[in-house]
């Protein structure tokens, strides 16, 4: 069985999430003392222990919540009286720090043209894991578009079969047109992606939405899509458009407003 530190290294290498739970303070009689650790996987499996029993069960549930929302938490428990809701009868107190271990977000760029190439470059510089997809193999190589972590020369509709799309995935469709977007979007809209943006004019998106409705895609699913994509900064060049797109993604990811920060004087 690997150690917790070996397991953490494996998680990082495979870009997989978990939560590390550490006893940071122990007073009196408790099942485990400070520095005891337990790693919790998204499916509820554990490695290590912080004491077993009801205490451990509660920490596991908190760890699973931390993996889902990405927020660390400090848990405090008395171990005295189960009748009052305590998770044990040892008589001591214990504090457990739950730290979600989340992989870098994945930026999935569809389309290896000028804008797609610029989005890949900027996304990588901003710290995203970046994957490029294009149904034209010659546009989906490290030679054509350097810097991506993975390349998927497959049709848009087949992309979820090749890439694990999670709530930490941001999808940018810098594609050639409606004939690519309309057939491929329904499968993407079935995924839990955090963001799906489609490049193009309002007219292009209106045509795409009409095609999606004709395919039976629900309105609430269509409303998930950000199109025209990006923040309004009058971008013209591929590099400026990439800034606009990534600015919108960062704004939504961090809960920003997109408003100027200039102070009133």
The domains of the chain are located at 15-101, 106-254
DSSP letter assigned to residue 262: P
**CB < 8 Å & 24+ apart, contacts of 132-138:** 133/108, 133/109, 133/159, 133/162, 133/163, 134/110, 135/180, 136/112
Q: What CATH number does domain 106-254 carry, 3.30.465.10, 1.10.10.10, 3.40.50.720, 3.30.360.10?
A: 3.40.50.720
What is the average pLDDT across 199-228? 95
Confidence of residue 86 (pLDDT cuts 50, 70, 90): very low
Percent of the chain with pLDDT over 70: 94
Pairwise pLDDT comparison (173 vs 262), residue with the higher score: 173
Question: Which SS3 state, helix, strand or coil, does residue 16 take?
Answer: coil
Q: Which pTM does this prediction carry?
A: 0.82
Residue 67: what pLDDT?
93
The end-to-end CA distance of the chain, in Å, is 62
Is the predicted pLDDT of residue 48 greater than 80, yes or no? yes
What is the average pLDDT across 50-79? 88
Is the predicted pLDDT of residue 20 greater than 60, yes or no? yes
Q: Alpha carbon of 82 to those of 29, 56, 86, 89, 178: distances in Å?
A: 15, 14, 4, 7, 61
């Amino acid at each position: 069985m690997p150690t917790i530190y070996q397991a953490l290294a494996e998680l990082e290498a495979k870009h997989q999430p978990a939560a590390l739970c550490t006893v940071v303070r122990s007073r009196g009689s408790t099942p485990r003392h400070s520095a005891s650790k337990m790693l919790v996987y998204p499916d509820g499996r554990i490695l290590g222990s912080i004491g077993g029993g009801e205490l451990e069960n509660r920490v596991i549930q908190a760890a699973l919540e931390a993996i889902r929302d990405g927020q660390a938490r400090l848990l405090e428990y008395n171990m005295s009286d189960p009748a009052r809701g305590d998770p044990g009868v040892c008589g001591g107190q214990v504090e457990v720090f739950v730290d979600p271990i989340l992989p870098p977000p994945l930026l999935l760029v569809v389309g290896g043209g000028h804008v797609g190439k610029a989005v890949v470059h900027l996304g990588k510089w901003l710290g995203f894991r970046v994957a490029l997809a294009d149904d034209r193999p010659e546009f989906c190589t490290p030679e054509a578009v350097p810097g991506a972590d993975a390349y998927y020369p497959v049709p848009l509709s087949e992309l979820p079969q090749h890439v694990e799309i999670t709530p930490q995935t941001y999808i940018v469709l810098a594609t050639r047109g409606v004939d690519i977007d309309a057939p491929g979007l329904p499968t993407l809209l079935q995924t839990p992606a955090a963001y799906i943006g489609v490049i193009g004019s309002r007219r292009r998106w209106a045509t795409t939405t009409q095609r999606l409705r004709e395919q039976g895609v629900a309105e609430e699913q269509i409303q998930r899509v950000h199109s025209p994509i990006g923040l309004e900064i009058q971008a013209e060049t591929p590099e400026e458009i990439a800034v606009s797109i990534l600015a919108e993604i960062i704004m939504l990811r961090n809960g920003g407003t997109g408003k100027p920060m200039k102070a009133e004087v």
